[in-house]
Structure 1
Amino acid sequence: MHIGGFLAQNARNFPERFAVDCEGRTYTYGELNRAVNRLANGLISLGVKKGEKVALFMKNSDYFMISFFAIAKIGAVVVPVNFRLTPDEVQYIFTQSDAVLVLCDSEFEDTVYKARNGTDVQAIIFGNTAGQGNLLYNNILSHNENEPDVEVFEQDDLEILYTSGTTGRPKGALFDHNKIFKVSLTMLVNMELKKDERFLHLAPLFHSAQLNLFMIAGVILGGRHYIHRDFHPVTALQAIQEHKITHLFAVPAMYNFMLQVPNVTEYDLSSIRRCGYGAAPMPPELVRKSITAFKTDQFYNLCGLTEAGPGGIFLDPEGHELHLGKSGKAGFLTEARVVYENGEDVSPGTVGEFILRGETIMKEYYKKPEETKAALKNGWLYTGDLASMDEEGYITLVDRKKDMIISGGENVYSAEVEVILYEHPAILDAAIIGLPDEVWGEAVTAVVVLKEGALLDEQELINFCRQKLAGYKVPRRIFIEKQLPRNASGKILKYQLRQKMNALTNEEHSVK
């Protein structure tokens, strides 16, 4: 069955079941399906054809969900785009994906206008007015609430998911309906999701984790969806308490912000059955504090890649009890290995490249045959992540290949040092990078954000690290920043930190 068919099936089987709440707009499954069909038939009337690419440039909302399923039902291909990107970055994705149409929040109309310059992309605006030749969402809705007259198969393409682009231009990972169904199925099995789940959508829906793992999986189940347009820690805690949320997924930074709410212990969070985290490493100390705050040990580390849908490895609650700090084991429908350059499995405890194989792996990088060939070899996805595997088969990701630091001939993996930094009581956020050094080749450098009101003596932090790390891993330089640059999925943009700290270092040398 294609992805849109699951929504239609739920509308037939339990049309009065509650489906979605967003900013007071609520839908049953019957109402949601009719709203999707009105948009789907409206898109057909506009001339959108099966296989054409339609972009979404929106914050989280019921309209995002409606748009996604409408595009899926007519056999077009959804291209979710990060709404924080600049017009030039958006234009690249529009052009590279061959998008013919974009559905856009009114607040981003100007960005989309600039991004469309020189393209044939048409825009539909969610709002009361539309300028610059754009169309209004309400004006293109069809009166036809029936299923669109398009035959969609599970082998038809469904999504182009663009990588986070932490090191350069993003690449579009292409998936069909069957692969995305398998992605959702892995969550249903790995996290034992049930039909009475109440999902709180905090992370961006344009990101593959929130979209494929939980929005689509939740619709397949017929669960309840509570969608927040923007993340605010207090509002999130209030929603868990008010709506008796059972399933929470958030990136580590969101957990960190929720734990900083002064009266977090006063909220009734007892409805939570399980908590998932992913998209970026979550320090063990933050996991421990989150387990205490949410009063449940049912935590899951979801360590996946966009190119896998996202999929990969996960650490279940038992793994948290016995192996906190490790990334986990391969989940349902997935195989995982750690290999040397020659493709042979590494010895336990040795660092190699993390590779994946399974039902959820992308078909290709869209229109990038050379990059596809480099990533997909003999059925395996070569991730570019460095990892080790212990004798029990637990994998621990230690760094990206491009982020590994070589200092004095020794390999330093940033994740290992960052875990120690997070144990320091003054530090709220932290990143380890390498900076050029005449003596050591690269100097291990810490960039940290302090908790509110906290003070930090740099030498004291170095001594703190020296007690827990080999000397060559201890930061030689420390920078204190107000915040760290992150992409929408929570990953720290280390190339930006390297550029900024390099510039600061050069300024210091020029002054001397």
Structure 2
Amino acid sequence: MDIGSYVAQNARKYPGKLAIECEGRRYTYRELNAEVNRLAHGFLAMGVEKGEKVALMMKNSNFFVFSFFAVAKIGAVAVPVNFRLTSPEVQYILQQSDSALVICDVEFEETVWHAQHGSGVRQVIVVGKPNVEESLSYSCVLSKNSSEPEVMVNEHDDLEILYTSGTTGKPKGALFDHARILKVGIAMAIEMGMGHGERFLHIAPLFHSAQLNLFLVPGMVFGSSHVIHRDFHPSKTLEAIQEHSVTHFFGVPAMYNFILEASDKGEHDLSSIKRCCYGAAPMAPELVRKSMEMFGTENFFNLCGLTEGGPGGVILDPEGHRQHPGKGGRAVFMTEARVVNPEGKNVLPGEVGEFIIRGETVMKGYYKKPEETARTMRGGWLHTGDLATVSDEGMITLVDRLKDMIISGGENVYSIEVEEVLYEHPAVLEAAIIGLPDEVWGEAVCAVVVPRAGAFADENELRAFCREKLAGYKVPRKVFIEKELPRNASGKILKYQLRQKLHVAER
């Protein structure tokens, strides 16, 4: 079956059940399906054909949900766009994806109009009152027809193009069909026991594969309820969990960190939470421990994957957290995972190699990039570019990005190991380890630290703290104190920006 058909199916199964709630706007499954169909018929009236690309540059909202599933119902292909991108960055995506239509929030209309020049975009649709005369308002596109669109869509039709975070260069569009994304949902349901009784809170951006494919789409397939926040705010997150009896929470590690720093973190009833998930970046064991205490549950799941996998990769379940804290986990259901050396042979336990995966949720390939696809998908395996180890028990743990590994004095230093030690220090809110050029050692291990509010992070004290727990060559030679770390929308630290900034400052 296709993704859109499940929305119609749940309108029949659970017509009066709450489907989504966003900023006081509430829709049952019957109402949701009707809104999706009205928009789908509006697209058809505009001449959008099956297989055409529709870009969505929107914050989290009910309008994002309507748009995504309306695109799915007519067999078009959704292209979620990071709303933090600049016009030249958006222009590249619109051109490379062959987007014919763009739906955007009104605050991004100017960015989109600058970006669509030179692309194949025929029309810009704006949620809100358009500022550009040529734009169409979202409300004007809606049809009065709320019946099911008469478009034959099957599971092998393309559904979405998800652009990688582009931390080192131009992003690539990972192409997925309905079948692959349905299997992502099946894998999550089996791994975490999710079902129609869930109440999801969506605070991470829906244009990102984790929040979209791991939780929104499966939740819609199951017939769960969804509470949607346009922006992340720690206190409002805690309030929403209590008010809506949220059962399922997902956040990137930085979000957990900010919630732990909230002044009212102990004032809300969080007992409805059945499971907490984190991903997109490593989460230090100390941060996991504190988060378990705050949420009052040990049902934590580490989701360690990548966009090209659906996202998919490895998962550390609650039992894994008890027995193997700090590890990445075992391969997700329907996924195989290995750690290999440059010759493609499995590494021995404790050795470092490249993390590779294959399975039924892995992308079809990079859209219109056959050479990059061939380099990444070799011998049936997706080569992630992540360095990892595997234990005797088969637990895989990522230790660094291949491009971020530091070689200092001939020794390999993996940033995650050092970062986890820094997170144990009470003055450290966030930490990143990078390598900077060094005349003697080739690269010098350097730490970039954001102190907790009101705390003082002394460089010598932090280095001494690390020296107690790490070999000398792993101890940061320099510690830089910053107010914040640069991140992309998925929560990943942009280490290349730190290297560029601090290398210039050191010269």
The TM-score by the shorter chain falls in which range? Answer: over 0.9
The alignment's TM-score, normalised by the length of structure 1, stands at 0.98
Partner residue, 1:496: 497
Find the counterpart in structure 2 of residue 439 from structure 1: 440
- In 2, distance between residues paired with 1:380 and 1:117? 38
Q: Retained in 1: the 8 A contact 2:340–2:355?
A: yes
Aligned-partner Cα distance in 2 for 1:130–1:434: 46
Amino acid at match of 2:353: G
Partners of 1:95 and 1:119 within 8 A in 2: yes
State how far apart, in whole Å, the 2-side matches of 1:24 and 1:269 are. Answer: 21
Q: Which residue number in structure 1 is paired with residue 28 of structure 2?
A: 28
Work out whether residues 73 and 148 of structure 1, in 8 Å CA contact, stay in contact via their aligned partners in 2.
yes
Q: CA deviation digits over 1:41-90, x for unaligned, max 9?
A: 00000010000000000000000000000000000000000000010000
C-alpha separation in 2, matches of 1:261 and 1:182: 37
Matched, 1:203 2:204: yes
1:352 aligns with 2:353: yes
Matching residue of 1:379: 380
Q: Tell me what 1:52 maps to.
A: 52
Moved more, 96-105 or 115-124: 115-124
State the 4+ residue runs in structure 1 displaced beyond 4 angstroms: none
- Alignment correspondent of 1:325: 326
Q: Deviations over 1:417-439 (max 9, x none)?
A: 00001011101011000000000
Distance 1:351 1:28 in 2: 50
In the alignment, residue 150 of structure 1 is paired with which amino acid? V
- Once residues 119 and 358 of structure 1 are traced to their aligned partners in structure 2, the CA distance between those partners, rounded to angstroms, is 34
- Distance (Å, rounded) in 2 between the aligned partners of 1:220 and 1:379: 29
Counterpart of 2:104? Answer: 104
CA positional deviation for 1:233:
0.3
Distance 1:194 1:55 in 2: 30
Give, in angstroms, the shift of residue 118 of structure 1. Answer: 2.2
CA drift at 1:132: 4.0
2:10 corresponds to:
10
For residue 288 of structure 1, what is the aligned residue in structure 2?
A: 289
Q: Deviations over 1:268-327 (max 9, x none)?
A: 000000000001111111000000000000000000110011011000000000101000
Q: Confirm whether residue 185 of structure 1 aligns to residue 186 of structure 2.
A: yes
Contact kept, 8 Å, 2:79 with 2:162, in 1: the verdict is: yes
- Contact 1:127/1:137 (<8 A) preserved: yes
Is 1:76 aligned with 2:76?
yes
- Superposition deviation, residue 445 in structure 1: 0.5
Task: Give the Cα separation in 1 of the matches to 2:31 and 2:502.
Answer: 53
Is 1:113–1:132's contact at 8 Å kept on the other side of the alignment? Answer: no
Q: Amino acid of the residue matched to residue 299 of structure 2?
A: Q
Matches of 2:503 and 2:90, distance apart in 1: 28
Q: Is the 8 A contact 1:130 1:136 kept in 2?
A: no
Q: Shift of residue 131 of structure 1?
A: 1.4
Match of 1:509 in 2: none
Shift of 1:399: 0.3
SS at 2:434 equivalent: strand
Structure 1 residue 377: Cα displacement: 1.1
Query: How far did 1:158 drift?
Result: 0.4
Cα pair 2:340 2:354 within 8 Å, conserved: yes
Could you tell me how far apart the structure 2 residues matched to 1:401 and 1:383 are?
A: 9
* Aligned-partner residue type, residue 292 of structure 2: I
1:415 aligned partner: 416
Match of 2:266, SS state, is: helix
Say whether 1:312 aligns with 2:304.
Answer: no
Measured after TM superposition, the shift of residue 156 of structure 1 is 0.4
SS at match of 1:320: helix
Displacement of 1:263 = 2.7
Give matches, 1:111-510, under 5 Å: 111-121=111-121, 122-506=123-507
Question: CA offsets per residue over residues 104-130 of structure 1, 9 Å max, x none?
Answer: 000111111111122231210000234
- Letter of the aligned partner of 1:67 in structure 2? S
1:510 paired residue number: none
In 2, the alpha carbon distance for the partners of 1:129 and 1:478 equals 48
1-side partners of 2:287 and 2:111: how far apart? 36
8 Å Cα contact 1:56/1:64 also seen in 2: yes
Name the CA distance, whole Å, in 2 between partners of 1:236 and 1:460.
34
Aligned mates of 1:46, 1:456 — CA distance in 2 = 58
Q: In the aligned structure 1, how far is the partner of 2:364 from the partner of 2:280?
A: 21
Contact (CA 8 Å) 1:196, 1:224: kept in 2 or not? Answer: yes
Deviation at 1:241, TM superposition (A): 0.6
Where 1:94 maps in the other structure, the secondary structure is: helix
The Cα of 1:194 is off from its aligned counterpart by 2.0
For residues 114 and 494 of structure 2, the distance between their equivalents in structure 1, rounded to whole angstroms, comes to 25
Q: Relative to structure 1, is the Cα distance of residues 132 and 87 closer, same or farther in structure 2, using a 3 angstrom cutoff? A: farther
Deviations 1:4-41 (A, max 9, x none): 01111111222111111000110000000000000000
Structure 2 counterpart SS, 1:217: helix
SS in structure 1 opposite 2:484?
coil
**More displaced stretch, 124-133 vs 354-363:** 124-133
Count of aligned pairs? 506
- Distance, in Å, in 2 between the alignment partners of 1:411 and 1:129 is 54
The residue identity in structure 2 corresponding to 1:56 is: L
Cα distance between partner residues in 2 of 1:128 and 1:112: 15
Query: Match of 2:206, SS?
Result: coil
**Counterpart Cα distance in 2 of 1:340 and 1:379:** 16
User: Aligned partner of 2:188: which letter?
Assistant: M
The amino acid of 2:262's aligned partner reads: V
Q: Which runs of 5+ in 2 are unaligned?
A: none
Deviation of 1:228 (Å): 0.2
- The letter of the residue matching 1:357 is R
Measure, in 2, the Cα distance between the counterparts of 1:456 and 1:213: 37
| TM-superposition CA deviations, 1:386-410 (whole Å, max 9, x none) | 0000000000100000000000000
